[in-house]
Amino acid sequence: MQKIAVIGAGTMGNGIAHVFAQHGFTVNLVDVSAPALDKALQTITRNLDRQVTKGSITEEVKAGTLANISLQTDLAAGVKDVYLVVEAATENISLKLKIFQDLDQHAPANAILATNTSSISITKIAAATKRPDKVIGMHFMNPVPVMKLVEIINGYATDKSITTAIVALSEKLEKVPCVVNDYPGFIANRILMPMINEAICSLFEGVAGVAEIDTVMKLGMAHPMGPLQLADFIGLDVCLSIMQVLHDGFGNPKYAPCPLLVNMVTAGYLGVKSGEGFYKYTAGSKDLVVSERFK
């Protein structure tokens, strides 16, 4: 149970690998891109350095964490002897189904296959394998080393013993597990994304400006970050993808993505990752500057 694999070396994958490794697990971090793996290790190292500076961990813990992580570009080799696989690839259903078909073929027969998906059906992913009883959602929040929640999602066929094991495992990571069932958006995004979408609609309809909408939610509702800034942080493309999952899954027009969100994603204004969304982001600056497009 101490050896796991994380598939995908992006923001979520490197964070998941970091947390497991810091808690004594041996982690194979797997990605088809060697440069992505190198970048992930650099990110983990920087985040560990930040923890050392804050005094939350020692240099010895940092060294041990890094020693627990191995980089691997070959999926079959990376999962051949692990107890658990956590997939954290791009939020794309075709890609995830292919990955889970490969995991089912190469991971040990008793291995649990978890996905960090934020909205895609666990039941659909599990159906791509011959072990749907051992497939479960393990949805970490970003940034993984900081955020306490793990949303654990049961697929239609997930065995109760698997759920129990993943709850216990999450607690070993000093996370707070919340078990939910497999319906579009689960709980976190079923509630969060319509709120973000409504904030975008309010901007689109001219009810208020970017800063005003975010200030109302921060000061009036005690949110640490306004919904438009949060959308930028998540990625507007990810927000759109989840709204489309909700809209398709429920067939209810209340989940229709705001036309402004659609246009921004189409034009490549994705938030922090592209340098501009509702706010403009400059490397090295922490100032929150509203995009000129919304002034």
Q: Which residues are catalytic?
A: 118, 139, 151, 189
Q: Which residues of 226-241 are buried (b: 16+ CB within 10 A; e: fewer)?
A: bbbbbbbbbbbbbbbb
Taking the CA of residue 230 as centre, how many other CA atoms within 13 Å lie in the half-sphere pointing to its CB?
A: 22
Give the type of residue at 116: N
Tokens 């934020």 — which residue? 118
CB 111 within 8 A of CB 84: yes
Rounded to whole angstroms, how far apart are CA atoms 145 and 27?
15
Place of tokens 């956590």: 86
Tokens of 271: 């938030």
> Does residue 5 sit in helix, strand or coil?
strand
